[in-house]
Amino acid sequence: MSRDSKQPRLLFVCVENAGRSQMAEAFARGKGLKAESAGTVPAASVNPAVVKAMGEKGFDLSFKKPKLLTTEMIEQADIVVTMGCSVEEVCPRPMLAKMQKKLVDWNLEDPKGKQLPEVKRIRDEIERRVEDLARRLRSS
């Protein structure tokens, strides 16, 4: 846990930070959790289908910019959730070593290149997992 608060800091990581990790961050923040997201190779912008799908849930991601994962983000996080992408293949070893102690992998399908109904299905699964995580954090 972070020394400055009882609430853990969550970090959601995927390769481009353009879909899954952005959705997870939005849902977590919507639940009042401390959360941020980042990517190992950030895209130029958030996936338009993700923006549309999240808009239907009341979250505006149109202004969000994918961010590069940093060692500082990993150090500040209490829990690092990877979305099922192969961060091991793109993360430097020292970063991976820092992540291992607090790593959870959700192994989610990538919404990139998918039609809106598929993106919504992925979105709903992320929302369910964030709700489960929030429940577990509150009860611990």
- The domain total for the chain is 1
Tell me if 25 is assigned to some domain.
Answer: yes
Q: Residue 105 is part of a domain; what is its CATH number?
A: 3.40.50.2300
Determine the structural domain holding residue 128 and report its residue range.
Answer: 15-139
Tell me if 6 is assigned to some domain.
Answer: no
Tell me if 133 is assigned to some domain.
Answer: yes
Tell me if 96 is assigned to some domain.
Answer: yes
pTM of this prediction exceeds 0.85:
yes
Confidence of residue 4 (pLDDT cuts 50, 70, 90): very low
Tell me if 71 is assigned to some domain.
Answer: yes
Write out pLDDT tens, residues 7-28.
Answer: 899 999 988 999 999 999 999 9
At residue 121, does pLDDT exceed 80?
A: yes
Tell me if 7 is assigned to some domain.
Answer: no
- Provide mean pLDDT across the span 104-109: 88
Contact between 63 and 38 under an 8 Å Cβ cutoff? The reply is no
**From CA 2, how far away is CA 9, in angstroms rounded?**
7
End-to-end alpha-carbon separation of the chain, Å? 11
**From CA 91, how far away is CA 103, in angstroms rounded?**
13
* Between 95 and 10, residue with greater pLDDT: 10
Tell me if 10 is assigned to some domain.
Answer: no
Tell me if 1 is assigned to some domain.
Answer: no
Write out pLDDT tens, residues 57-92.
Answer: 999 999 999 999 998 998 899 999 988 765 555 555
